[in-house]
Each structure stands twice: as structure tokens, then as C-alpha cells.
């Protein structure tokens, strides 16, 4: 009875607000299907950590520290960076780089659409965030949840909750965010541009060599990205080698599901009222939107710039798929093209740029870590 009374007495407005935030995340995940695999664990653990004297968090009892299970998950999986890296293995096993290899020009958009990272980082510094916090907020523009978690876990653990919520929420909102930006920057004629039906023929050997080659080259360019790109490409090698099909399927399903549960619960451990209910949280959510808009605009404008020099024009909408929100962004651009011209088929090009964005976001994360760590 005494524990019940203590719990009721110490349940303050901040706790109630955060429990409501947890319920909102669960509602959005179930009702609107906004990244349910991660938002449901985050939402539920947000409720758990905002119960007064909750045993899921560290507690001092009679001068002895009793570790909370969610704090242990956080230390094991986030502090050591194990959880996001294991997720990269799963993501790599899910990705087919074939469309990118068939249309290698799409590599350019995977780089151009990372503009939002650095633009948002600059804006964040103007709002008073220090350079490491600004880098962690800017990486939301990678449109890549694991990369955002990886960078924030290294530079701004205190902001991990709102950064993760912003990253995954806006990834879910790509079908709402991207179309108006694209339409504002392109004409109907540009959106109707058709792409050649056929691309390069890709052999099985090339599919196997590609993840190994990308790992070596990317790691030389950005050594800080070696773990990120290496685990991503290792997962892809499992998929493409042809002799580890059961392992590749396990990475895509069991590994992805188990690690995502622990990852979500760990992130939720940071979403206590004293850490989350700050003006910084609102800034982060707004800056996340800015990052996605800049990403989309940067990719589209780069495609329009290329068209100044190309005889066979590129549909500039494809530039927007250079973000790492795979495969949602590719579907959005393909559907936009079909609305303008039902005979226009952009999906394979869009997928190619989209998976290039996955590589680009990881490299951008590695470069950001190298630059900020040296400051």
C-alpha cells in the first residue's frame, strides 16, 4: 500500500505528459502504421520509465545501486553501438543493389540528397546547440534511423530520444513531405520525363564483388564509417553470395525483429520527463522536418543542374529518392510520375537512387563523425 501511495504522490505533470506521449506513439504506430516496429517499443518503454520509482531504471536503495533493465539494455546496445550495427546487417540483407548497378548514374543522387544533413547542422548551431548536438540533429537528414541512432549515441546521448522519434516519424511521413516540395521545384513537363527502359546487365559475380568493393573504397575515404558501411555490406554479401540463404533470411527476419525490440526499448529509457520535456525537443522536431525538406530539394535541384549538360534529360524527381528512406521514397516518386503520365515507369531508377541514398547516408554519418571528433 505504501508503494502505491508513493507512486500516486510522485506522479507529476511531467510524468503524465510523457505517459501520454508514449500512448500517442503507440496509437500512431498501430492506427497510422508509422514505423510500428520501432515506435511501439519506444512508446511502451516511455510509459515504463515515467512511472515513479519504476524498477526498469537505475535506483539507489539503502546506498546500493540496483541497475534497471532498460539502463542495462542502453549500456549494452547503444553505448557500445552494437544494436544499430546489428540492424545494419539486417538492412543490408534486405537491400537489392541491382537497380543501382543497372543505372549507376543514380549514385550521384545518393550523395546530393545528403545536403539536408549539413544544412540542418548549420541551422542547429544558430539555435544554440553545440557542434556535437548539431551534428546529431543534422543526421536526421540522413533519413536513416540506424545512422541517426549511431551518431546521436556517440555525440548526444541526452538527445537520443527526440532525435530517434523525429527520424522515424519523418521517414513515415515521406509520402506527405516530398510531393509538395517536388512539385514546387519542377514543372509538369519535367515530371513527365521518361527514362530508358533498359539498364546495364549485371552478373552474379558483380553483385558479390559490389559489397566488398564498396566496403574497401568507402572505408578508405571515410575510416570512421568502416563499422557502418562494413556491417551494411556484410549483410548484403549474405544475400548475394548464394551459399548462405538461410543466414540471410535470419538476418532479414529474426535478427531484425529481435534487435529492433531491444533497440526501441533502449531508446525509450532516455524519454523521461526531465530529459524530453524541454524546448530543445521542439527544436529537434522542427529541424527534422527542415532536414527532410532540404534533402528532397537538394536532390531535385541537383538533377535539374545535371540536365543543363545532358542530352538525354533525367527526370528531376529521381533526385528526391537519393534520401535513405527505402523503399518508401522510391514508391512516392514512381507514383508521382504515374499520376503525370500513366505510361511513365520510374520505379527501377527510383529504387536505384534510393539504395544509393543508403550508402550515401552511411558515408555522410562517418564523415560527420570524423569531422566533429576532430574539433
3-state DSSP call for residue 103?
coil
C-alpha cell at 34: 508509422
- Between 111 and 30, the higher pLDDT residue: 30
Residues in the chain: 375
Distance between CA atoms of residues 44 and 18, nearest Å: 11
The pLDDT, as a whole number, for residue 304 is 95
The enclosing H or E element of 149 equals: helix 145-155
| Tens of pLDDT, residues 275-293 | 888 889 989 999 999 999 9
The pLDDT, as a whole number, for residue 179 is 92
Q: Which residues of 146-157 are buried (b: 16+ CB within 10 A; e: fewer)?
A: bbbbbbbbbbbe
Greatest alpha-carbon span in the chain: 79
Distance between CA atoms of residues 170 and 176, nearest Å: 9
Distance between CA atoms of residues 186 and 320, nearest Å: 11
pLDDT tops 60 at residue 2? no
C-alpha cell at 372: 566533429
Q: What is the mean pLDDT of residues 321-338?
A: 87
Q: What are phi and psi of 336, to 5 degrees?
A: -65, -40
| Tens of pLDDT, residues 32-83 | 888 899 899 999 999 999 998 888 998 887 788 889 999 999 999 999 999 9
Residues contacting 137, CB < 8 A, separation 6+: 120, 121, 124, 129, 156, 159, 163, 284, 287, 288, 291
| Tens of pLDDT, residues 33-44 | 888 998 999 999
- Rounded to two decimals, the pTM is 0.88
- Between 157 and 6, the higher pLDDT residue: 157
How many CB atoms are closer than 10 A to CB 282? Answer: 11
C-alpha cell at 92: 543490408
pLDDT tops 50 at residue 1? no
3-state DSSP call for residue 12?
coil
List the domain boundaries for the chain: 81-373
Q: Nearest Cα to 179, choosing from 296, 285, 302, 338?
A: 296
Q: What is the mean pLDDT of residues 348-356?
A: 91
| Tens of pLDDT, residues 212-259 | 999 999 999 888 889 999 999 999 999 999 999 999 999 999 999 999
Residue written as grid cell 528526391? 320
- Between 161 and 326, the higher pLDDT residue: 161
The pLDDT, as a whole number, for residue 59 is 86
The average confidence (pLDDT) of the chain is 89
Distance between CA atoms of residues 109 and 61, nearest Å: 55
How many CB atoms are closer than 10 A to CB 57? Answer: 19
The enclosing H or E element of 328 equals: helix 328-340
Residue written as grid cell 558483380? 206
Bridge partners (DSSP) listed for residue 64: 61
E-strand ranges in the chain read: 59-61, 64-66
Q: Nearest Cα to 166, choosing from 73, 35, 321, 262?
A: 35
pLDDT tops 70 at residue 5? no
DSSP notation for 216-234: HHHHHH-GGGHHHHHHHHH
The pLDDT, as a whole number, for residue 296 is 92
Three-point CA angle 189, 192, 194, nearest 5°: 125
The enclosing H or E element of 4 equals: helix 2-9
pLDDT tops 60 at residue 6? no
Q: What is the mean pLDDT of residues 122-127?
A: 92
Residue written as grid cell 543542374? 305
Amino acid at each position: 500500500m505504501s508503494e502505491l501511495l508513493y507512486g500516486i504522490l510522485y506522479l507529476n505533470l511531467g510524468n503524465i505528459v510523457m505517459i501520454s506521449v508514449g500512448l500517442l506513439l503507440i496509437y500512431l504506430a498501430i492506427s497510422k502504421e508509422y514505423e510500428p516496429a520501432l515506435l511501439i517499443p519506444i512508446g511502451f518503454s516511455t510509459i515504463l520509465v515515467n512511472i515513479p520509482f519504476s524498477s526498469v531504471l537505475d535506483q539507489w536503495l539503502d546506498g546500493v545501486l540496483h541497475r534497471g533493465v532498460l539502463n542495462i539494455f542502453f549500456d549494452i546496445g547503444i553505448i557500445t553501438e552494437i544494436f544499430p550495427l546489428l540492424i545494419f546487417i539486417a538492412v543490408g540483407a534486405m537491400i537489392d543493389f541491382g537497380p543501382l548497378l543497372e543505372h549507376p548514374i543514380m549514385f550521384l543522387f545518393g550523395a546530393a540528397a545528403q545536403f539536408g544533413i549539413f544544412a540542418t547542422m548549420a541551422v542547429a548551431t544558430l539555435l544554440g546547440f553545440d557542434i556535437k548536438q548539431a551534428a546529431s540533429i543534422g543526421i536526421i537528414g540522413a533519413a536513416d534511423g540506424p545512422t541517426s541512432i549511431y551518431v546521436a549515441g556517440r555525440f548526444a546521448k541526452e538527445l537520443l530520444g527526440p532525435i530517434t522519434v523525429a527520424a522515424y516519424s519523418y521517414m513515415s511521413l515521406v509520402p506527405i513531405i516530398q510531393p509538395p516540395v517536388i512539385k514546387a521545384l519542377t514543372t509538369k513537363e519535367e515530371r513527365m520525363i521518361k527514362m530508358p527502359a533498359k539498364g546495364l546487365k549485371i552478373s552474379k559475380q558483380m553483385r558479390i564483388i559490389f559489397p566488398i568493393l564498396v566496403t574497401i573504397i568507402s572505408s578508405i575515404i571515410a575510416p570512421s564509417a568502416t563499422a557502418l558501411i562494413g556491417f551494411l555490406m556484410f549483410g548484403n554479401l549474405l544475400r548475394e553470395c548464394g551459399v548462405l540463404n538461410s543466414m540471410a533470411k535470419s538476418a532479414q527476419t529474426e535478427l531484425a525483429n529481435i534487435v529492433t525490440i531491444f533497440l526501441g526499448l533502449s531508446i525509450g529509457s532516455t524519454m523521461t520527463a526531465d530529459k524530453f520535456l524541454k524546448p530543445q525537443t521542439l527544436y529537434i522536431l522542427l529541424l527534422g522536418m527542415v532536414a527532410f525538406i532540404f534533402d528532397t530539394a537538394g536532390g531535385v535541384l541537383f538533377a535539374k543542374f545535371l540536365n543543363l549538360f545532358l542530352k538525354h534529360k533525367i527526370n528531376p524527381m529521381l533526385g528526391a529518392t537519393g534520401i535513405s528512406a527505402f523503399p518508401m521514397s522510391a514508391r512516392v516518386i514512381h507514383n508521382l510520375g504515374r499520376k503525370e503520365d500513366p505510361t511513365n515507369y520510374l520505379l527501377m531508377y527510383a529504387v536505384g537512387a534510393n539504395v544509393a541514398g543508403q550508402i550515401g547516408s552511411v558515408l555522410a554519418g562517418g564523415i560527420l563523425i570524423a569531422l566533429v571528433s576532430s574539433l
